Amino acid sequence: MKLTSTQVERALNQFEAEAIPDSHPVIPQLQKLFGDHTYFIDNNGLNIVEPTDSNQQDAELGLVVNLANWNDSTPRNLEPREPEPTNIVVKLGTAH
Protein backbone atom coordinates (compact mmCIF):
# COMPACT_ATOMS: atom_id res chain seq x y z
CA MET A 1 0.00 0.00 0.00
CA LYS A 2 1.42 3.34 -1.01
CA LEU A 3 0.68 5.89 1.70
CA THR A 4 0.14 9.61 1.34
CA SER A 5 2.48 11.94 3.23
CA THR A 6 -0.29 12.53 5.78
CA GLN A 7 -0.77 8.79 6.29
CA VAL A 8 3.00 8.31 6.69
CA GLU A 9 3.07 11.01 9.35
CA ARG A 10 0.13 9.44 11.18
CA ALA A 11 1.72 5.97 11.03
CA LEU A 12 5.04 7.26 12.37
CA ASN A 13 3.22 8.87 15.30
CA GLN A 14 1.93 5.40 16.23
CA PHE A 15 4.97 3.16 15.82
CA GLU A 16 8.68 3.82 16.06
CA ALA A 17 10.18 3.61 12.58
CA GLU A 18 11.63 5.69 9.79
CA ALA A 19 10.02 5.97 6.36
CA ILE A 20 12.35 5.36 3.42
CA PRO A 21 11.95 8.30 1.01
CA ASP A 22 10.75 7.49 -2.53
CA SER A 23 13.94 9.16 -3.81
CA HIS A 24 16.23 6.72 -1.95
CA PRO A 25 18.34 4.59 -4.33
CA VAL A 26 17.16 1.33 -2.70
CA ILE A 27 13.48 1.95 -3.56
CA PRO A 28 13.62 0.46 -7.11
CA GLN A 29 15.10 -2.77 -5.68
CA LEU A 30 12.46 -2.93 -2.95
CA GLN A 31 9.67 -2.33 -5.47
CA LYS A 32 11.03 -5.11 -7.66
CA LEU A 33 11.07 -7.52 -4.70
CA PHE A 34 7.93 -6.49 -2.82
CA GLY A 35 5.84 -4.18 -5.02
CA ASP A 36 4.82 -0.53 -4.83
CA HIS A 37 4.58 0.32 -1.12
CA THR A 38 5.70 2.88 1.39
CA TYR A 39 8.60 1.22 3.21
CA PHE A 40 9.56 1.66 6.85
CA ILE A 41 12.72 0.64 8.70
CA ASP A 42 12.66 -0.08 12.42
CA ASN A 43 14.71 -2.06 14.95
CA ASN A 44 13.18 -5.29 13.63
CA GLY A 45 13.81 -4.66 9.93
CA LEU A 46 11.84 -3.66 6.84
CA ASN A 47 8.08 -3.13 7.06
CA ILE A 48 5.09 -1.99 5.04
CA VAL A 49 1.54 -1.05 6.03
CA GLU A 50 -1.33 -3.02 4.52
CA PRO A 51 -5.01 -2.09 4.73
CA THR A 52 -6.99 -4.11 7.23
CA ASP A 53 -10.64 -4.91 7.58
CA SER A 54 -11.78 -2.64 10.34
CA ASN A 55 -14.64 -2.98 12.77
CA GLN A 56 -14.32 0.77 13.21
CA GLN A 57 -16.43 2.14 10.39
CA ASP A 58 -15.16 5.67 11.03
CA ALA A 59 -11.43 4.82 10.74
CA GLU A 60 -9.07 3.64 8.02
CA LEU A 61 -6.65 1.19 9.65
CA GLY A 62 -3.42 -0.39 8.46
CA LEU A 63 -1.53 -3.43 9.69
CA VAL A 64 2.27 -3.26 9.87
CA VAL A 65 3.77 -6.24 8.00
CA ASN A 66 7.44 -7.25 8.35
CA LEU A 67 9.20 -8.14 5.07
CA ALA A 68 12.82 -8.52 6.16
CA ASN A 69 14.76 -8.81 9.41
CA TRP A 70 18.17 -7.51 10.35
CA ASN A 71 20.86 -10.19 10.55
CA ASP A 72 23.44 -10.26 13.30
CA SER A 73 26.51 -9.65 11.14
CA THR A 74 28.48 -6.43 10.95
CA PRO A 75 27.49 -4.43 9.01
CA ARG A 76 23.91 -5.41 9.57
CA ASN A 77 22.02 -6.51 6.50
CA LEU A 78 18.38 -7.18 5.85
CA GLU A 79 17.34 -10.77 5.18
CA PRO A 80 14.05 -11.09 3.24
CA ARG A 81 11.40 -13.38 4.68
CA GLU A 82 7.83 -14.38 4.04
CA PRO A 83 5.67 -11.35 4.88
CA GLU A 84 4.65 -11.64 8.52
CA PRO A 85 1.91 -9.49 10.04
CA THR A 86 2.91 -7.80 13.28
CA ASN A 87 0.58 -6.89 16.13
CA ILE A 88 0.85 -3.19 15.24
CA VAL A 89 -2.29 -1.58 13.80
CA VAL A 90 -2.15 2.11 12.89
CA LYS A 91 -4.98 4.54 12.27
CA LEU A 92 -4.29 6.15 8.90
CA GLY A 93 -7.31 8.41 8.72
CA THR A 94 -11.06 8.52 8.68
CA ALA A 95 -13.08 6.27 6.41
CA HIS A 96 -14.44 7.90 3.28
Coil, strand or helix: which one is 8? helix
Residue 56 pLDDT > 80: no
Residue 57 pLDDT > 70: no
| Distance from C-alpha of 81 to C-alpha of 84, rounded to nearest angstrom | 8
CA 67 to chain centre: 9
Residue 55 pLDDT > 80: no
Q: Are 62 and 1 in contact (CB under 8 A)?
A: yes
Q: Name the pTM for this structure.
A: 0.89
